[in-house]
Chains A and B, each alone.
Chain A
């Protein structure tokens, strides 16, 4: 059975590879011969290739569900006991499968793009660009499919050393048999840390974000190659870019949620190279989403926009290169190897091609218009672009610094979280400041008095809201300095400044909305609700974008409080039925079960009752129950070493999270009291206002979807 999956999967991979090469060739010929029949043929091969690679991915998923452990990849990333969702997640759990997933998503997007061109081809600009787009898109496909077919084949048969090892073990008459017709009877299994529901959502989100940027990149490069200087490509790819950006954002946030809920250090962002890899295209993608509005509105920044989308796509590939080359050490990069060289070569080729096309068309791309005043919508957008790109440049430099310092200075230096914060936080604050100013500016030029008037009221309200937020967060929730002291500066920078800017953004937008609705009401004679609906639906792109800003601001307020006002107590011993007081809460282990077999592991699970001391700490003061768990995955014939793992328990309280991390016991198990009771060790965190971090993301998502929706009078809207 195994080898039918191998044959099917490999055949489909090769079909997709050939289809991608054919697409590129046919489209290139169509450009030269100006023959629409060749364009139609390229369109069909693009669709066909997408279907083929989808089939190949389906074959690998089938192999996972079938338990085809004769396939090396399946053996390493799955096992019989694992549930269906993690069998599916095996597709992207390892390097080879993740590249197949990338190629599969790229294939499906390519097919969707080709399908959409069946109509769009009627537009003269679209007809002109279509074959060029196919050439660029298919070249990207050729790269990924070449990697799969020639370097990282997820259908490769099981490594003979593994079979030999299992055969040897079987010969020593342990509990086998471990082999069946020379094929392992079970798989090694996903690492337990990956058996988490975020594993099923987070990686595909990140990949979708990265891969969807291929569409605007292909259009941008096609426009340069074809000499098509209208804003057609910008308008056509707006929704693609918005959706890519939303997935990119979602991937980043879900990665943070995963870290928060699984890794047990109480945080969600650690400036790891892999985290940085997903953040870099987000920064330039955000800059691109803003600067294209300037091109649409004022026909400016054509070179900059082409450069930005090229940077965004290159950074997506750079991120993939970072995680697959071993160039920098990261806690969750894949192993290095030859595949890194493939990505490096592709990266250099992309940069060379993009730079060549930009220089080739530089003269034609110059715009007659220019920015008249920095105090204008386009002026603020440009400054926002500079800041976003500056942050991206800083992160690239800091991420590569260990490598740069090792290779060129012969003095390898590692940079920790404080260095990243010291460099990036001032720029984030500047970005928030510009975001607050944006809605109060007008295109071309803004009246200074009107600008100040528009910002003044929200600023005064924001000061009041900041004082209230910090008071609630620090005094009411954290309980002031009682647990762990802070310096006065901690309240100001960055906490106070970030909270103020967050509120200023939210309140400026609210103020702008109120004024716009009032003006519309006056002009149309409608009641406020109808006027508000008319305003929002009439220009969903603008108001959806503003909601995204509000979401980002809310997230910023959450980050400020949850980071600076967090408390942490390490190695807190909890003995059953003996309450322990930490801060304003009392924790007591009220029930326990030790080493109970569950699925592939032994589970020690506790019921920790939490009581509020402010409410007296008695039976009536119970605020919730937490269920921390310690899992022990024993070594098996297939899994080389036993693995202990702690499952975090989180209690969401109004205003804060209580967070318990189960300390793993030593080889002798949990220590005991003189009475023989187990002593369970915990790290206990409190994270004020952390829900605002995740809530801000939901708001961003809602705003982004609304902005991308095909509503309103201006389907290709102008952010006036």
Chain B
């Protein structure tokens, strides 16, 4: 076996194996991403999906969490979400949020297995870059939620 063939064999095995694993991983483990209006339009019936939007209307901040996710383009469109997970630290209305799970057509809400809220650095940066402090608190020292 020539030297170049001797090197080509492991190269092909490693990168061929890599290509195969990536293709398999994407095919079997990929979850479609969607916007709220697509869920409202019934585009992903009975399929796991990750939905992006803005957090709104928190009905329950305790487990199970109950809130809505509002469409980023059309604020009129929203879906109710139920999520039996720990409340993230950055779980606040108007924040960017993504929920992963399935639409329950009978209960007419989205059952989320995972909730992704954004990290503080991103929130701070966006708030600074764009719509800076659109609503200031009506007073200082809003108290403990008791």
Interface of A with B (CB < 8 Å)? Answer: 72-73, 76-77, 93-95, 159, 161-162, 165-166, 168-169, 172, 174-175, 188, 190-194, 263-265, 329-335, 337, 370-372, 374, 382-383, 386-387, 390, 393-394, 397-398, 401-402, 405-406, 411-416, 418-420, 422-423, 426-427, 430, 570-571, 595, 602, 632, 634-637, 639-646, 661, 663-669, 671, 681, 683
Q: Which of A93, A374, A390, A422 contacts B29 (CB 8 A)?
A: A422
Encode contact with A along B100-142: 1 for CB under 8 Å, 0 otherwise. Answer: 1000000000000000111111111111111011011111111
A170 CA / B61 CA spacing, docked (Å) = 31
* Interface assignment of B40: CB less than 8 Å from any CB of chain A: no
Interchain CB contact under 8 A, B61 and A667: yes
A664 to B142, CA, bound (A): 17
A-B pairs, top 10 by smallest CB distance, nearest first, are A191-B120, A332-B119, A419-B29, A413-B30, A666-B62, A335-B125, A412-B33, A335-B126, A635-B137, A669-B146
B21 in contact with A382 (CB, 8 Å): no
- Cβ of A441 to closest chain B Cβ, rounded Å: 15
Please determine whether A334 and B86 come into contact, CB atoms closer than 8 angstroms.
no
Contact B121 A419 (CB under 8 A): no
For B78, what are the chain A residues with a Cβ–Cβ distance below 8 Å? none
A334-B22 contact, Cβ under 8 Å, with A166-B136, A371-B7, A595-B146: no
Minimal beta-carbon separation of A642 from chain B (angstroms): 5
B10: which A residues are within 8 A, CB to CB? 374, 383, 386
Q: Are B86 and A668 in touch, CB under 8 angstroms? A: no
Q: From A161, A263, A635, A683, name the one whose CB has the most chain B CB atoms within 10 angstroms.
A: A635
A282 to chain B, nearest CB (A): 18
Q: Is B137 a contact of A663 with CB atoms below 8 Å?
A: no
Q: Are A666 and B128 in contact (CB under 8 A)?
A: no
Q: Are A165 and B119 in contact (CB under 8 A)?
A: no
Q: Which residues on B sit within 8 Å (CB–CB) of A73?
A: 128
Asked if B18 CB lies within 8 Å of chain A CBs, one says yes
Q: How far is the CA of A412 from the CA of B51 in the complex (A)?
A: 11
Chain B residue contacts of A188, Cβ below 8 A: 124
CB distance from A88 to the nearest CB of B (A): 16
Q: Are the C-beta atoms of A332 and B137 separated by less than 8 Å?
A: no
Contact A426 B26 (CB under 8 A): no
Given contacts A174-B139, A637-B139, A665-B62, 13 further A-B contacts (CB under 8 A): A162-B132, A168-B136, A191-B123, A265-B86, A331-B116, A332-B118, A386-B15, A636-B140, A637-B137, A644-B89, A644-B145, A663-B62, A681-B63
CB <8 Å contact, A94 and B128: yes
In whole angstroms, how far apart are the Cα atoms of A174 and B10 in the complex? Answer: 72
Q: Distance in Å from the Cβ of B113 to the closest Cβ of chain A?
A: 10
Asked if B50 is at the interface (CB within 8 A of a chain A CB), the reply is: yes
* Interchain CB contact under 8 A, A632 and B145: yes
A232 to B59, CA, bound (A): 66
B31 within 8 A of A: yes
5 pairs, A vs B, C-beta closer than 8 Å: A394-B22, A415-B26, A415-B30, A643-B89, A646-B89
Q: How far is the CA of A175 from the CA of B86 in the complex (A)?
A: 35
B31 touches A416 (CB 8 A): yes
Could you tell me if B29 and A193 are in contact, using CB atoms closer than 8 angstroms? no
Contact B137 A387 (CB under 8 A): no
Contact of A423 among B25, B90, B100, B120 (CB under 8 A): B25
- Chain B residues near A415 (CB-CB < 8 A): 25-26, 29-31
B52 within 8 A of A: yes
B142 is contacted by which of A337, A386, A635, A646 (Cβ under 8 Å)?
A635
Partner of A194, one of B14, B50, B120: B120
**For the complex, what is the distance from the CA of A334 to the CA of B29, rounded to whole Å?**
27
User: B30, A423: Cβ atoms under 8 Å?
Assistant: no
Measured between alpha carbons, how far is A333 from B118 in the docked complex, in Å?
A: 8
A93 touches B7 (CB 8 A): no
Q: Is B24 at the interface (CB under 8 A from chain A)? A: yes
Which positions in B face A, CB cutoff 8 Å?
3, 6-7, 10-11, 14-15, 17-18, 21-22, 24-26, 28-34, 50, 52, 60-63, 86-87, 89-90, 92-93, 98, 100, 116-130, 132-133, 135-146
Does A411 contact B32, Cβ atoms closer than 8 Å?
A: yes
Please give, as numbers and ranges, the residues of chain A lying within 8 Å of B3 by CB-CB distance: 370-372
Given A159-B132, A337-B129, A415-B30, decide whether A663 and B138 contact each other with a Cβ distance below 8 A.
no
In the bound complex, what is the Cα–Cα distance between A156 and B132 (angstroms)? 15
**B29 vs chain A, min Cβ distance (A):** 4
CA distance A401 to B143 in the complex (A): 44
Point out the residue from A394, A632, A646 that lies within 8 Å of B21, measured CB to CB: A394
Residues of A within 8 A of B124 (CB): 76-77, 93-94, 188, 191
Point out the residues of chain A lying under 8 angstroms from B100, CB to CB: 414, 416
Chain A residues whose C-beta falls within 8 Å of the C-beta of B142 in the assembled complex = 634-635, 642
**A61 to B122 Cα, complex, angstroms:** 21
State whether B61 touches A636 (Cβ < 8 A). Answer: no
Question: Given A371-B7, A394-B22 in contact, is the A666-B86 Cβ separation under 8 Å?
Answer: no
CA A190 to CA B123, docked complex, whole Å: 11
A161 B132 Cβ-Cβ under 8 A? yes
The CA-CA distance from A666 to B22 in the complex, in Å, is 42
The answer, among B50, B98, B119, B132, for a CB contact under 8 Å with A193, is: B119
Interface residue from B25, B86, B133, B143 paired with A663 (Cβ < 8 Å): B86
Give the distance in Å from the alpha carbon of A390 to the alpha carbon of B20 in the complex: 12
Contact B121 A640 (CB under 8 A): no
Report the minimum CB–CB distance from A377 to chain B (whole Å): 15
Complex Cα spacing A635 to B92, Å = 12
Cβ-defined contact, A406 with B125, below 8 A: no
Which residues of chain A are near B33, meaning CB under 8 Å?
402, 406, 412-414
Answer whether A414 and B50 are a contact pair too, CB < 8 Å, given A174-B139, A191-B124, A666-B61. Answer: yes
- A193 touching B89, Cβ below 8 Å: yes
Q: Would you give the shortest CB distance from A173 to chain B, in whole angstroms?
A: 10
A507 to B32, CA, bound (A): 45
Residues in B whose Cβ lies below 8 Å from that of A169: 136, 138
Contacts of B119 in A (CB 8 A): 193, 330-333
Q: Which of A337, A371, A387, A645 contacts B89 (CB 8 A)?
A: A645
Cβ–Cβ contact B14 & A386, under 8 A: yes
Across-interface contacts of A264 in B (CB, < 8 A): 86, 89
**B contact residues around A191 at 8 Å (CB):** 90, 120-121, 123-124
Which residues of chain A are near B22, meaning CB under 8 Å? 394, 397-398, 423
Instruction: Indicate whether A394 sits within 8 Å of B18 (C-beta atoms), given known contacts A329-B52, A334-B122, A414-B33.
Output: yes
Complex alpha-carbon distance, A426 and B18, angstroms: 9
Which residues from chain A contact B137 at a C-beta distance below 8 Å?
635-637, 639-641
